[in-house]
Homo-oligomer: A and B are copies of this chain.
Amino acid sequence: MAQPSSATTPKVVDIHTHMYPPFYVDILSSRSTIPLVLNFPSSPNPRLILLEAEVPSLAGAESSATARPPGRPLTKHYSSLDQKIHFMDTHHIDISVISLANPWLDFLSPTESGPAAESVNAEFSSMCAAHPGRLYFFGALPLTAPLATVQAAVTRLTTLPYCRGVILGTSGLGKGLDDPALLPVLEALAAAGLTVFLHPHYGLPNEVWGPRAAAEYGHVLPLALGFPMETTIAVARMYLAGVFDAVPALRMILAHSGGTLPFLAGRIESCVRHDGQLVGEGKVAAGRRTVWDVLRSQVYLDAVIYSEVGLKAAIEASGGADRLMFGTDHPFFPPVGGSEGDEDGEWESVALNAEAVTKALGEGSEEATGVMGANAVRVLKLYGK
């Protein structure tokens, strides 16, 4: 990876990097249902429990999994700005576009979420202002609040100098991203030039992982498969609902290289063309925009896919490397095996994704430097305020 910024060295930009600012941790710590933060005597750090799948079910309670506290350690990496800057310096990252981590504000009541969004976005703004030129952010939306509150939040984000978009889960206003009621929000975001960073949280129903998963497979299945599958389903639903056509100015970055969209785009397209109902209803007319068209015009992908195979497919599905953007998914996937405080060095999870870029595109190539940072600088206008 490139050295920290200078006038001549290409910038390294991390567009997939999360924080739970202190205000948000306070919210999680006050809760008694997931998502929440809990203290356990056996754990040096509080535990952050985000997913139902992270809590061993009663069915698996006799297994060894119950000897471990649930969730993951809430280390300083999650909420400390100094730690974020340290992480960036350690990995030679010049600029980070930080975002609230899942599940964002989706669990708050309609009256809570508006003020919470205001506070969180103000906190992110202050963080960026404390390190001008090194930090930008994707804001959070109060999606459980009335539509007027959501739209006011979008307007407010346009006044925050370091905001470059919003992070969005797949539930939208509660009925998914193909919900017609969400269209005014997407239109407002598109009109404001705010990019939507689509990120999973809800995964798939636990039953699909089978009876052994909760006790025996750690968090692997919901994280490795549930997350990317959720993203793919959300985008496919948007495509089938015509959202990309309805909001042509909408621009989205899909987390985890689009979930599985690059690999499945051909199958989606074939299933659309061969669907008796869609063909019969005239929805597969000549000139319609295919999944490939959307991937190559309105969608960007991060490069968080942990393999050369996946990254190459993401690049080819996107019609070129100029729609891909490096990310780390920090503070998730810290090194394991050492003690919980032993996370100040280089992270293998970061190296895996950086190495995939080098392997797929050649070290220092124009395409590689594009994915590592130049694409993000260009697309998200990461200069000045």
Q: How many Å from the CB of A287 to the closest CB on chain B?
A: 16
Cβ contact within 8 Å between B68 and A276? yes
A271 beta carbon closer than 8 Å to chain B: yes
* A279 CB contact (under 8 Å) in B207, B275, B317, B337: B337
A191 beta carbon closer than 8 Å to chain B: no
A379 beta carbon closer than 8 Å to chain B: no
A281 beta carbon closer than 8 Å to chain B: yes
A267 beta carbon closer than 8 Å to chain B: yes
Cβ contact within 8 Å between B210 and A264? no
Main secondary structure of the interface of A (DSSP, over half): helix
A222-B216 Cα distance, complex, nearest whole Å: 28
Cβ contact within 8 Å between B271 and A224? yes
A275-B220 Cα distance, complex, nearest whole Å: 7
Residues of B within 8 A of A205 (CB): 204-205, 207-208
A130 beta carbon closer than 8 Å to chain B: no
A294-B241 Cα distance, complex, nearest whole Å: 38
Q: How many Å from the CB of A223 to the closest CB on chain B?
A: 5
Cβ contact within 8 Å between B236 and A266? no
Q: How many Å from the CB of A330 to the closest CB on chain B?
A: 12
A229 beta carbon closer than 8 Å to chain B: yes
A219-B268 Cα distance, complex, nearest whole Å: 11
A224-B236, A267-B307 known, 19 other contacts, Cβ within 8 Å? A65-B277, A216-B241, A218-B272, A218-B277, A218-B278, A220-B240, A221-B236, A225-B232, A228-B264, A229-B229, A229-B232, A262-B309, A266-B309, A266-B356, A270-B349, A273-B348, A274-B336, A309-B316, A310-B313
Show 8 A/B contacts (Cβ-Cβ < 8 Å), sorted by A. A216-B240, A217-B237, A221-B233, A225-B232, A228-B264, A256-B267, A266-B305, A269-B306
